[in-house]
A and B are shown apart, each in its own frame.
Chain A
Amino acid sequence: MPVFEIGPMGAGFSDPVQHSQAIFRCVLESMARPGVRKDIPAMPYAPPPLNAASTAVALTLLDDSTPVWLDGAADTSKVREFLAFHCGCPIADRSGEATFAIVAGPMPSLDRFDFGSDEFPENSTTVIVQVAALETGSDICFAGPGIEDFAFMGDPGLTDGFWREWSDMGALYPCGVDLILTAQHRIACMPRSVRRIEAGRTAATERKPD
């Protein structure tokens, strides 16, 4: 019989029912109100290179029905073991076949992921993206559903190329991907419906959808 080597396993939630509910509400609140940043409660362990928030979101949303794709940086044996043990989720070989993706390195091109189709836009990838920081600031301005007028946040460290792709993806709405940005214990979401407003454009020049 083959012998499987299992190293020491980091702990997941100590109270999975209550903790996953609390984390889900943080994600729901930030998905419903883009630009809002939520601090999740402390986690006992995060498999490197995942941060605490990515780990908590994975424990909350992933299971055996959600194939997950890991980028080069996130694809470590620690992460694979942790996800296999705690979530039981299959690891997708190709990003386009994944329900969820975890990006710990540079953001890959958005069109690598599943955008869904016009008839089934819900069959798309939700990408958990580890970014440099999620701070208050006025570097990035958002508009869209969930935002009263405009929402602002500090620069999360995403490239200009990413923002161009995000803007291009907006033309394909309702197809697209949803992002859950994480930095240490903090999360913020960018649903596909949110648009980045370029600096210098004011409320007067922005037309709201009817």
Chain B
Amino acid sequence: MSGVASAAGGKTLAGYNFAYLDEQTKRMIRSAILTAVAIPGHQIPFGSREMPLPYGWGTGGIQVTASIIGADDTLKVIDQGADDTTNAVSIRRFFSKTAGVRTTESTREATIIQTRHRIPEAPLAEGQILVYQVPIPEPLRWLEPREVETRKMHALSEYGPMHVQLYEQIATFGRIAATYDYPVMVHGRYLMRPSPIPKFDNPKMDRNPALQLFGAGREKRIYAVPPYTSVKSLDFDDHPFSVESWEHCCGLCGAGASYLDEIVIDDKGGRMFVCSDTDFCTQRQAQGFRGPLNSEAAE
């Protein structure tokens, strides 16, 4: 069979299959992914395996990535937008060791991006795959603890209780108080948890040209949003969905429209706001953009 890269021999860890998982597990996950793509937003149960990292560190995302990744892929991993945090670095190293793949911090260069709790600021393109790490996949779980019941609710599109919950927030706080893991309707049919991304990122999911895959390892569920699929955040006519905004711009690159993290910088109440997406911030600084705190540091 020609035209396919052969195993990245020599560069991968001896004694392990390519990308860690055995082939039968990959086949099972691949079938689940295909069905998930065919039924956007519907959670497909799968036989989640024990991975060499604890639950909560991305066991679902890492199994999805291991099942799709090939020797010619370029992998980017982010944790809360950052490429250089422990979780991101260790998952990236895991795949460069077990699959011998190229890794990158650039959103544009990556063919597969595994993410914990953010969508990159740079627009994604056709052909890219975004893999989300999901802690709790079931949007109705805190409203109805029984799986039998939530499955029935999805079958009947019975999503009234979720609207009631949002309404109760309006009654109590005067606005919808949910700020992350904000529930969405996918393709007008399934209510879906977007994973704990800030609601700031929800509009990016709507009709995104990239394929979005979601893996929940502990809860053993895979779901997907194909490219150009409608993803609408729940809201009311008189309380339309809106995203958070800041009075500040990024202290390092000056970006005014990115998602900002607040960072305490001393014990006298000093703080700065910086882009949560480190690649976006670094690229802007490389292009010469400077934020208020960055120019001070330069002086």
Contact = CB atoms under 8 A, between A and B. Distances in A.
Interface of A: 13-22, 24-25, 27-29, 31-33, 41-44, 60-61, 63, 65-66, 99, 117-122, 124, 126, 145-148, 173-174, 178, 191-193, 208-210
Interface string B185-229: 101111000000000000000010101000000000000111111
A14 B218 CA distance: 35
Contact of B1 (A25, A44, A191): A44
B138 to A, nearest CB: 14
B2 A122 contact: no
Contacts of A19: 1, 4
Nearest to B127: A29
Contact of A41 (B1, B27, B39, B190): B1
B188 A209 contact: yes
A21 B1 contact: no
A43 B26 CA distance: 21
B68 A28 contact: yes
A15 B209 CA distance: 32
Contacts of A31: 34, 37-38
B70 A146 contact: no
B37 A13 contact: no
Interface of B: 1-7, 17-18, 23-24, 26-28, 30-40, 42, 44-45, 67-71, 126-127, 151-152, 154-156, 185, 187-190, 207, 209, 211, 224-230, 232
A122 B226 contact: no
Given A24-B30, A145-B228, A210-B230, A32 B211 contact: yes
Contacts of B17: 17
A118 B229 contact: no
A17 B7 contact: yes
B42 A18 contact: no
B44 to A, nearest CB: 5
Contacts of A22: 4-5, 70
B219 to A, nearest CB: 15
B25 to A, nearest CB: 11
Contacts of A147: 228
Nearest to B46: A122
Contacts of A66: 31
A35 to B, nearest CB: 11
B36 to A, nearest CB: 8
Contacts of B229: 145-146
A121 B187 CA distance: 16
A25 B129 CA distance: 11
Contact of B226 (A18, A120, A146, A208): A146
Contacts of A13: 1
A192 B151 CA distance: 20
Listed residue (A33, A117, A122, A191) with the most chain B CB atoms within 10 angstroms of its CB:
A122
A28 B65 CA distance: 13
Contact of B189 (A63, A99, A126, A174): A174
B34 A178 contact: yes
A99 B189 CA distance: 24
Contacts of B2: 41-42
B70 A28 contact: no
B70 A191 contact: no
Given A15-B1, A25-B68, A191 B37 contact: yes
A27 B34 contact: yes
Contacts of B187: 145, 193, 209
